[in-house]
Structures are given as structure tokens and as C-alpha cells.
Amino acid sequence: MLKNIMSDTRKVLVVCGTRPEAIKLAPVILELQRRPHEFETRVVVTAQHRELLDQVLRVFRIEADEDLDIMRDGQTPFEITVRALEGLRPVLEREQPDVVVCQGDTTTTFVAALASFYLKIRVAHVEAGLRSGDKQHPFPEEVNRRLTSVIADVHFAPTDASRDNLLAEGIAPETVFVTGNTVIDALLLASDVPGSSPVDDIGAEARVVLVTAHRRENWGAPMEEIMKAVVDIADAVEDVQVLMSVHPNPRVRETVERVLAGHPRIRVIDSVDYVPFVKVMKRASIILTDSGGIQEEAPSLGVPVLVLRTVTERPEGVAAGTVRLVGVDRGEIVASALELLRDPVAYARMAHAANPYGDGHASGRIVDILARELG
């Protein structure tokens, strides 16, 4: 448990580096900032992903107090780790926070926890306890989150299953709190923001198939299979309009553009800001993705998700029926997508399943717990 601290306000340093982290930490940051009598909140970004991170911060009107700006073209996990660790050390030494808050499973998350541990600063981990059971999938995220759990002092588990994972690994029960997932908080906030999106010019009669794929383990041959499956789906269903949201990574973009080029019902779009992307998700009939966050977001919107991975650290969605693992086999992807597009009963079964990931109040619970645990 965290020890009491003498001062009236507690200094909380929130660290993020990627778009998913920013989405899921934004509601926590906003909740902390609403309580200045209790918390002095500082936001540090590593900018592991520069442009995608900045998009989200703009949406939620969050300004970083420190920006390490570590992103480089063609960066590797080695380079991200070294630059983030070296960049965080002087910030942590200068700020001396009472607790560092990190989220999820990125290299930034693990490094923030590690740097804090080296300086004997306590760590609170948001979205703790997710496990795929395979340290190579997703890579390097599965190991990042396991190592962060070893270091963290307070664990905010989004679901009972995540809590059970932590307890099975020997984490002290009194340090684990089930809060729901902050991604639902962010989704509800973003849903109320007006604005345009890439689906505005798509006719109401068309069914939109949204595709996102970017994970490192899917680069190369798996990405090629996924993109060929996308072409097959577009060829098979005449009223389908595919939107392929392409990650800026050049290895992903090369495969996407080469395989999908020229198809009349496939539109390749750059990654868009979070609010327009929420509108695209709401408009979609089905989503094909290897993203983690979308597995949590889409069920709140009633959109079935086909996951382009062989394992998931979010089994609650699979159990609830909102998510289906289809892997990267071309035939399996196509068969699963066509079943949903052609069978109204199968579609309704997934679209109407209950969302297991929360009620939109996770951030309030997290901040309440921090207030109590920090004395």
C-alpha cells in the first residue's frame, strides 16, 4: 500500500507515449485536474508515437508539461527504451512526484515504471493485469505489461479477469482495484464532440467495413494475407465500402498500398484524429483490427469486431460474444466477415452482446483510490 504523505496536495506525474495511452489516460488526467486541492498533476510525454499522440492530446485539450520527443524514423524497441529511460531520469529527479501513473503495455509504460523504480518512486498502473499468455504475441507488449506489474505498487485492473491474472502471479490483493476500463470514459467524452469524419460522403445504403492493422508481429507476410482478405471481402459484397486506416509506419503502408491500390470500393485513409475515428467506428458495420483498444471500444457502439490475431489479452470480449479471434489466415478472415455481412442472425448475436469493459466512470474510481491510497 502507498504510505501517507505530509503535504496537502499530492504530486502525480502521468507518463504516456502513444495514441492508445493518451486516449486511456486523458480521462484520468482530466479528473485529476478537476481536483487541484488534492493533486498537483504533471503530464510527461515521451512521444514514442509523435503525430498520433498529439492528435489525442489536442482532442482533450491536454498540454504536456514535459515532452521528451524521442520518436525517430525506423525506431526499434532498443532505441525507444534507451531514449525514454535517459529522458525520464532528469524529469523524475527534478519533479520528485509522489506517484507515477502509467497505462497499458507500451515500451513507454515499462520504461516509466522502471525509471521510477530506480529512483524509488511509487508506480500506479492503469489497465493492469491483461495477459495473452504468449510473450511473443503481442510483441513486445505482453512482456512490457508483465514487467510493469512486477514493479507497480498500485494496480488498476479493468475487469475481474485482469484482477485474477494479477493475483495468480502473486500480486498483493490489497494493491489491486477493479475499476472498469478508462477507454469507455474517453469514448463517451469523444462521442459528444462535433465534427466531420471520413465517412461523411459515404451513402447511407453502403455498409462500411473498417480495417486497421499495425502490430509488429503482423508485418510482412501476415499483413499481405490480411490485405488480400480485405480485397476478397470487397469483391464478394457489392454494397460494402472498405475504409483501411493505415498506420504511418512505412512497412505497414507499403503492403497496404501495394495490395489495395485501385480497388473501387476500398479507400485507404491516413490515421485520423480520435474524434473522427470514433465517428467512423459508429458508422461501421463490422471492424477488422489487430488493435487492442478497438476490441474494447466497438462493443460500446454495437459493432462486431473480428480480431486479426491468434491470441488476445482481452478475453472478456470473446466470452461476451462481441469479439471473435480470426487470426491472419486469409480464408478464415473472409469467411468470418462474409458470415456477418450475409447472416442477419449471426450479426445481431455479436452486435447486441453486452460490453464487459465498463460504464464510463473508471477514471473517477481511479482518482478516488489514488486520493485514499496517498493519504
- Residue position matching grid coordinates 465500402: 241
Return the bridge partners of 284, or none.
208
What's the N-to-C CA distance of the chain in angstroms? 11
**Secondary structure tally for the chain: helices H, strands E:** 15, 13
Grid coordinates given for 296: 474494447
CA distance 309 to 136: 12
Residue whose C-alpha is closest to residue 98's, from 146, 29, 42: 42
Phi and psi torsions of 113, nearest 5°? -65, -45
Under 8 Å CB-to-CB from 303, ≥6 apart: which residues?
A: 281, 282, 284, 285, 286, 287, 351
CA distance 258 to 251: 11
Alpha-helical runs (H) found in the chain: 19-33, 50-59, 77-95, 107-118, 141-151, 160-168, 182-191, 221-236, 250-260, 274-283, 293-301, 315-320, 330-342, 344-351, 362-373
Residues 327, 328, 329: CA angle, nearest 5 degrees: 100
Residue whose C-alpha is closest to residue 82's, from 117, 49, 115, 53: 115
Catalytic residue annotation: 105, 127, 141, 214, 216, 247
